[in-house]
Amino acid sequence: MDTIITRFPPSPTGFLHIGGARTALFNWLFARKTKGKFVLRIEDTDQARSTDESTAAILESLEWLGIDWDEGPYFQTRRYEIYKEYIEKLVASGHAYYCTCTPEEVDEMREQAKAQGKKPMYNGRCRERGISKGENSVVRLCTPDSGVTVVEDIVKGSTAFQNAEIDDFIIQRSDGSPMYNLAVVVDDLTMGINTIIRGDDHLINTPKQILIYQALGAALPVFGHVPMVLGADKSRLSKRHGAMSVGEYKNMGYLPDAVINYLVRLSWSHGDQEFFTREDLIEKFDLEHLGRSASMFDMDKLNALNAKHIQAQSPRELAPHLIPHLKELGIDAGDDEFTHGIIETLQPRSKTLKEMAQGAGFYYLDKVELDEKAAKKFLTPEIKGMLEAAALAIQALDAYTQENLENVFKKIMEDLDLKFGKIAQPLRVAVTGTTVSPGIFEMLLALGREKTVDRIHQAMDYIKGLE
């Protein structure tokens, strides 16, 4: 088979949302799986709503997701001469014609058809009039009056559309600009696109596009129309269900690998497997297992997958993703061993990077902010001796290792006849300011000897203040 060439053609009228990201992902994965090409095209013919800011946001979101492209981005507004050339070919071959009917006249035709119980549509008045190009003329495609146009779809199967219900639709406006269906077909032809995976909301356009392919004598691409994503209540996906821009998921602390894992699972399956690395997806993705029924967006499932991806990555891999979230909290963290050690303590208990950043805050403080209730309960004069012994023993260690830390506190427990529970919580409050933290020894190890001892001394000063 020829090299697979897929594409993603967003309109730059807003941010990249979940549905669009999933479409991009399916096309990208299939191109990567087959060692084909993935083309990025910006469909910016709606100049009233298209903005450079939206284009930049879409490109940034794709880059964050790790969806790279082999060609493009192409911009439709820079390709008008190519569209014009193809439209002229269609007119010259008799497959299209100039029409001077006014919008009011077309409305009247539709009303008449409606009154006769027919589908409201243009009646082909200018088809045989041989009109030349004029100032107010549009170009319409000559569509068959009978028969059917069949969309052979790798997801939905065959869908037949009655040609009698497809009017001679406009392919060029009176100002010379191309209509959507014409531009899309010409783009796909000239870019060599042979596989088109898109949302099933585009299915209504496909028979018109097929008629343009046929008029140009061109081979059809493979079509696959995937079902829409719905909210958990089975209604159209909206912001309350999670239909936010991709950038918002980044800001909320989701990993790009977790997001693409979750998006692929909305309408594609590989047995019962839920967790996929990026490499897994490229190896296993196929078109045969794209689902036919709508899928439901579930934030709980995304959270669970994100937690698994956080646990699966190394601290070194996670650090560049975490640091921006720390910066939002006013923490100037480096991509260094200190941060990597902190990440390791928080990986098992973090669902998002935002949550991890919040949990990491205490590590970077110069002075611990004591929770009043926790300090009152655990930092009492009775515990001062234990803290003092701990500080001295930790300071005296030859090597600051977890094993040595554990031995320090075993000895303190023996010397002071205390159970570990009586030591752990006061120590946790002294070092973190709260009663919640990662495991005590791994946390002390990540914090480092100097900070650990300094914070124990701060807690002792607090107790002295009480006395």
330-359: per-residue pLDDT in tens?
Answer: 999 999 999 999 999 999 999 999 999 999
If asked whether residues 351 and 432 sit together in one domain, one would say no
Check pLDDT > 80 for residue 392: yes
Share of the chain above pLDDT 70, in %: 98
Torsion of CA 128, 131, 137, 139, to 10 degrees: 50
Whether residue 419 is contained in a domain is answered as yes
Check pLDDT > 60 for residue 242: no
If asked whether residues 385 and 460 sit together in one domain, one would say yes
The dihedral through the CA atoms of 308, 312, 315, 316 has a sign that is negative
What pLDDT does 307 receive?
Answer: 98
402-431: per-residue pLDDT in tens?
Answer: 999 999 999 999 999 989 888 999 999 999
With beta carbons less than 8 A apart as the criterion, state whether 423 and 413 touch: yes
Q: Which amino acid is at 31?
A: A
If asked whether residues 357 and 378 sit together in one domain, one would say no
Residue 238 makes CB contacts below 8 A (sequence gap 6+) with 231
268-279: per-residue pLDDT in tens?
Answer: 999 999 999 999
Known catalytic residue: 239?
yes
- Host domain of residue 430: 365-467
Query: How many other C-beta atoms can be found within 10 angstroms of the C-beta atom of residue 90?
Result: 21
How far is the C-alpha of 166 from the C-alpha of 163, rounded, in Å?
A: 5
How far is the C-alpha of 158 from the C-alpha of 443, rounded, in Å?
A: 60
Q: What percent of the chain is helix, strand and coil (3-state, nearest 5)?
A: 50, 10, 35
Q: Phi and psi (nearest 5°) for 170?
A: -75, 135
pLDDT band at 226 (very low <50, low <70, confident <90, very high): very high
If asked whether residues 143 and 165 sit together in one domain, one would say yes
If asked whether residues 105 and 222 sit together in one domain, one would say yes
pLDDT band at 38 (very low <50, low <70, confident <90, very high): very high
Which one of 114, 118, 239, 411 is the catalytic residue?
239
Residue 156 makes CB contacts below 8 A (sequence gap 6+) with 200, 203, 225, 292
74-86: per-residue pLDDT in tens?
Answer: 999 999 999 999 9
Last residue of a domain, one of 304, 328, 350: 304
93-148: per-residue pLDDT in tens?
Answer: 999 999 999 999 999 999 998 998 888 999 999 999 999 998 889 999 999 999 99
Whether residue 155 is contained in a domain is answered as yes
The label of the residue with tokens 């990662």 reads 438
Least confident interval from 154-168, 221-235, 354-368 = 221-235
If asked whether residues 234 and 299 sit together in one domain, one would say yes
pLDDT band at 58 (very low <50, low <70, confident <90, very high): very high
If asked whether residues 388 and 416 sit together in one domain, one would say yes
Whether residue 334 is contained in a domain is answered as yes
